Structure 1
């Protein structure tokens, strides 16, 4: 996700101008504010505006009950606009606000910003005449001029340690004036290209873009940001706005890109410009194109910088590559741990029951939700796989989407239809359905990547500001290469899943699963093949097949393939199953369980010696298989049979013999 120095302002404003007499330093009397010439107040009011965005006219969301909107304050409840900042007139039909206030309209669900005067009149922004991303200001014109042509005069040489007044839409409560001192100048943080003005007058979210005035009511700066650690705020000297090159948008800012699989940062910058004036919509389009291109460049550079040690490359991947395959219903994200080694993240999950044996598991890692939806028994696979709204409605039943109004949370029961639907194919040739749903009240999006699995869907989800859609999809496109997912379902579900040929991962082109209820089951791939009959284990629609997938190295080429095939007699049971599993000889020096396990496998030692054992109320028996005729094979398979109760050795050996009779390993 790309980030740059942005400031945000939110709130709901009332019209009108209020003069607040705020006490100064060391308890100095508030009367100092009276030094602002009262005769200047009408002009200040006429020349200062709220920056607003229209509230969405419709809401696609469905709620469990009516929203308690009547509990909101009257002004907030009845205002048709969100108030996001402040702007002011500088004459000749030109207006100034903070650059980040204007950028609030970029890809916004609330539409473009506009100005609102103290009488409630709203004026659309027409053309952008000057813009500087790093200095964080914009100069623009309006499509219709206010009746008053009031403009603020300029003081280009303000004196330090004199009274100043921050004018703006403080906390969305209307335009107010608050007093303080112009305390100091401080160099801009990147390379000292200019100096910020620091002042002690109070400034709150919503003040952004408002004027900083001297005691005669003249503009000396543009209020932009608060100090994080002290009661000092920052303004850009108005001279920086006036002396900036006319008719040009300038971007010269540091940007940082980070991906949720490691802590590495890609530091870069956006240096570009384009000609102005330009209509607001065209300006946004030009700016977004450059932002998007910068993000794509930074992500590519980040992955290239890490390529030598990016899973599955490098020594730090070895432990994960050679560990025993894990089968998990909830997807996991492969990340680099604090010790530098690649691991799976996302094990702490919450489970939510749905009707008819359906359920949802949700795990959090970084900014991401890892989700598994197991569809209800009465829901047809074809409908589930083809209906994004249906999948998200099932997820909404968990209560994960809630809207807070006046401190009261109301459950969102449906997000409606997605506004965009595409497909992303990851490195392992898995086709993810990519859908986005708007949350208009929050100016946000739910972005979901869904991978069909036999019993439902594995999902990667983020809830993000609407303006971050492109960056979010860049991130999630990259993260899908690092999603570890297993394929689990009963045989009835597998039948429906395998019927969705166009949605199957490429690995299934070489996997052939066949079954006949009450008679037989068979599995065949380019690596291994086996079959069993109902003499070994019951084969019914509720028999549950687990396929565990992982990254496999074929020489130096990584591929994604199934390495665990586990068939349970009954869905949801931990008894009575057959299992065929792949193991690879680990290289020397690999820590972990596989270093201890491999010698036992290669030597056919207990418990892999074909002798039954009684553990956890089950009889279990394992045997090792390899490619016929292979000498010192590097790839071994185990065949396992387990059944409830204490069974005789002869019985266990005969069942294992039936399982391994047609077992063929085709790799070594």
Structure 2
């Protein structure tokens, strides 16, 4: 089978992870073969012992694959050993005592909360040995000690805790998954560990390859001086943990002591703090994995809490620029994006560069990378009902894959994935503004990854946030996306036929729609009624049929001292292709911190100046007419909220006809807030 693929990321792109995780970082370092700086040969008498005491660390490949592909996967393109091996070879381990084995911590961490099997050891003859108990562990020092079930009879490697600089050393490890090899070099220097300088790494020039992590670094006599853990990113030297760090570590204890950073996509600030914990050992690998993951998840939750608390005074709806956002109307954009604080410290709603792909039966997929997630707008095909879409998450992802393909690389080919199958997790989530999201997950076990989707039902389909992540980061990503849901900026758009279906799914509607009545009869009348606003009209104003387009422009604004997410603009078009439309806009008196442009605009509305003076005007081949609706007010009355009502149609139109249309709109316009 193929190596864990990375091509799927081409469709679901994500930025660099927000937290620096040493284990993940070490695992991701690209080992590159280096030329040997000193030709040397290990004593032939020692060689059999070294080979017998050194093992591959392997993880069982997934047996079942729920994914579907455009054609059979061409495994025949892979090297024989790779396609026939039931295991992924991920690192190296070695014996330092009677049923006492060690490897790099990040090697075994690949099995923590994994979609694959548990890590195991494999000897040169192909025998696989399951891990029995984890007996020592240090995240900071990056090592783990463990025992095996039914261990083989091997002679442990001798140890040397005081190696001499500038002498020959041998790096022993699993080279590219093809077995254990030995390569020579020099022990060149020491360097303090990065976090606190509490101890020093051994640096050496012996060559290393993918899979060397966790293998022994030997002196000229074949004694272990360290555990190979990583490669320097900017020079031809590799790093090893001194073996005495393992020998002197507390027995039967797992130690976590590192510093990690957490960042939320909507702000540039980070929260950096310790991830520090201990728990008793020995434990089975499953128990070790569960305990570690529980502690890690709790640490993630705390860091997210701390980040939000540290920025509470400047988090939307507070902070620079937030007042501006609370005073602007919706732009009626049905594509979701995130409110965020830009590099100048201002809260903005910058629209993403949406890429669209056509789906059958008038559907389409719009997508754009926004931070660590891809934002989607799915306009469902006409032959798919809202009930079908919202009730069948496999259908949603199958449609996404048509417009935003994912691929699995096998050998030299990238094979299109046509279905992820049924989701492995389905639950609902309600954000702070009472919008109801559907959370869905799809495992991609061949790559130990998850697709996580937050789906927000909208009249014409879904607005969505989607991430591609590791199974181990599932809790963190869901917590992150739940926090981000409170910053989503999106409007609700669809044909009247789509709205009719959508409104029938009452359990999925945002709570704001429970206070809004939308009633219509094709060819007869249209009515909109909320606690803020009501209006109605008949076909004498404009056509009302199944293809008429209704957009509720949603905005964040203040209501009696509380920030709400509600309708700030209503637009109804006679149909999607026709420019004729009516629109009612909500306007708020500017607060003192806003610039003169807001006060000038508000003053014009209060005084019914152009374009709110009831006089037709032309703009961009359209004719418009609008005025301030509701009860007549004066500047002296100092209103807090005003509504403007507009009618627009393409081409030039007589003034009397336009005024007649505006009167038809105003006849049943009722403003309930001032």
Report the TM-score when normalising by structure 1.
0.95
Q: d(CA) in 1 for partners of 2:502 and 2:483?
A: 25
1:189-237 CA-to-partner distances (Å, cap 9, x unmatched) read 2221111111111223311111000011110001111111111111110
Question: Structure 1 residue 33 and structure 2 residue 33: aligned?
Answer: no
- Asked whether 1:82 is paired with 2:88, we answer yes
SS in 2 for 1:607: coil
The answer to which of 591-600 and 355-364 deviates more is 591-600
Q: Over residues 593-637 of structure 1, what are the superposed CA-to-partner deviations in whole Å (9 max), with x where a residue is unaligned? A: 645422222221111111011222221111112556682212111
1:616 matched to 2:629: no
Q: C-alpha separation between the residues in 2 aligned to 1:10 and 1:563? A: 47
Q: Shift in Å at residue 92 of structure 1?
A: 1.1
Pair 354,392 (structure 1): closer, same or farther in 2 beyond 3 Å:
same
Q: Quote the residue 2:659 is aligned against.
A: 653
| Equivalent in the alignment of 1:562 | 567
Q: Secondary structure at the match of 1:360?
A: strand
Which residue matches 1:349? 354
1:23 aligns with 2:45: no
Q: State which drifts further: 374-383 or 169-178.
A: 169-178
Give the alignment partner of residue 539 of structure 2, picking from 508, 531, 534: 534
Alignment of 1:529-608 (within 5 A): 529-571=534-576, 573=577, 575-591=579-595, 594-608=598-612
Match of 1:383 in 2: 388
CA deviation vs aligned residue, 1:342-372 (integer Å, no higher than 9, x gap):
1124520110000110000001111110000
Counterpart residue number, 1:17: none
Q: 1:5 to 1:623 in 2, by over 3 A?
A: same
Compute the displacement of 1:591 (Å). Answer: 4.3
CA distance in structure 2 between the partners assigned to 1:592 and 1:337 by the alignment: 22
The equivalent of 2:203 in structure 1 is 198
User: Relative to 1, partners in 2 of residues 1:170 and 1:594: Cα closer, same or farther, differing over 3 Å?
Assistant: farther
Alignment of 1:132-211 (within 5 A): 132-146=138-152, 148-211=153-216
Q: 1:295 aligns with which of 300, 312, 317?
A: 300
Verify: 1:229 aligned to 2:234, yes or no.
Answer: yes
If asked which structure has higher relative contact order (CA below 8 Å, sep 6+), I would say 2
Please report how far the alpha carbon of residue 253 of structure 1 lies from its aligned counterpart in structure 2 after TM superposition.
Answer: 1.0
CA distance in 2, matches of 1:82, 1:626: 70
Q: Is the 8 A contact 1:422 1:435 kept in 2?
A: yes
Pairwise CA distance, 1:656:
0.5
- 1-side partners of 2:374 and 2:351: how far apart? 9
CA distance in 2, matches of 1:299, 1:399: 31
Out of 495, 502, 513, which is 1:508 matched to? 513
3-state SS of the aligned residue for 2:396?
helix
Q: Matches of 1:283 and 1:349 in 2, distance apart?
A: 44
Corresponding position of 1:325: 330
Contact 1:621 1:652 in 2 (8 A): yes
Q: Quote the Cα distance in structure 1 between the aligned partners of 2:117 and 2:622.
A: 64
SS at match of 2:474: helix
Q: Distance in 1 between matches of 2:436 and 2:204?
A: 55
Indicate the SS of the match to 2:261. strand
1:281 is aligned, of 286, 299, 304, to: 286
Residue 106 of structure 1 is matched in structure 2 by 112
Contact 1:626 1:635 in 2 (8 A): no
Aligned-partner Cα distance in 2 for 1:443–1:406: 18
Q: Could you tell me how far apart the structure 2 residues matched to 1:508 and 1:446 are?
A: 30
Deviations for 1:554-599, whole angstroms, at most 9, x for unmatched residues?
132101101111001012x250000011111222342486454222
Distance 2:269 2:654 in 1: 57
Q: How does 1:434-583 map to 2 (within 5 A)?
A: 434-571=439-576, 573=577, 575-583=579-587
Residues 51 and 116 in structure 1, CA contact (< 8 A), matched pair in contact too? yes
Give CA deviations for 1:439-471 in whole Å, capped at 9, x if unaligned.
112110000000100000000000001111111
Q: Which moved more, 1:218-227 or 1:308-317?
A: 308-317
The match for 1:639 is: 645
* Residue from 424, 437, 452 that aligns with 1:432: 437
- Secondary structure of the structure 2 residue equivalent to 1:278: coil
Equivalent pair of 2:584/2:644 in contact (CA under 8 Å): yes
State the shift of 1:400 in Å: 2.4
Return the alpha-carbon distance in structure 1 between the equivalents of residues 21 and 578 of structure 2.
51
Does 2:297 correspond to 1:305? no
Q: Does 1:238 align with 2:243?
A: yes
- Give the Cα–Cα distance (whole angstroms) in 2 for the partners of residues 463 and 311 of structure 1: 27
User: How far apart, in 1, do the equivalents of 2:528 and 2:240 lie?
Assistant: 69
Which residue of structure 1 lines up, in the alignment, with residue 672 of structure 2? 666
Are the structure 2 counterparts of residues 74 and 627 from structure 1 closer, same or farther at C-alpha, using a change threshold of 3 Å? Answer: farther
Distance 1:92 1:267 in 2: 41
CA distance in 2, matches of 1:52, 1:165: 22
**Cα separation, 2, equivalents of 1:236 and 1:453:** 54
Q: Indicate conservation of the 8 Å contact 1:2/1:295, yes or no.
A: no
Counterpart residue number, 1:5: 22
Match of 1:15 in 2: none
Q: 1:212 matched to which residue of 2?
A: 217
| Alpha-carbon distance, 1:73 to partner | 1.2
Instruction: Tell me, in whole angstroms, the C-alpha distance in 1 between the residues paired with 2:631 and 2:487.
Output: 31
2:436 and 2:254 mapped to 1: Cα distance? Answer: 40
In structure 1, stretches of 5+ residues that fail to align are 12-19, 25-29
1:14 — aligned with what?
A: none
Aligned position for 2:4: none
Counterparts of 1:442 and 1:595, CA distance in 2: 56
Contact 1:334/1:345, CA 8 A, preserved across alignment: yes
TM (normalized to structure 2)? Answer: 0.94
8 Å Cα contact 2:113/2:290 also seen in 1: no
2:189 is paired with a residue whose SS is: strand
Q: Deviations over 1:517-552 (max 9, x none)?
A: 101101111111111111100000000100111111
Deviation of residue 62 (structure 1)?
0.6
Query: Gaps spanning 5+ residues in structure 2: where?
Result: 1-17
Match of 2:76 in 1: 70
Q: For the residues of structure 2 that align with 1:141 and 1:574, how far apart are their CA atoms?
A: 73
Q: Distance in 2 between matches of 1:74 and 1:321?
A: 62
On the 8 A contact 2:354/2:366 being kept in 1, the answer is yes
**Alpha-carbon spacing, 1:595–1:405, altered in 2? closer, same or farther (3 Å):** farther
Superposed CA RMSD: 1.8
**SS at structure 1 position matched to 2:615:** coil
Task: Give the deviation of 1:399 after TM superposition.
Answer: 4.1
Q: CA distance change for structure 1 residues 216 and 21 in 2, over 3 Å: closer, same or farther? A: farther
Q: CA deviation at 1:111?
A: 1.6
**d(CA) in 1 for partners of 2:633, 2:610:** 23
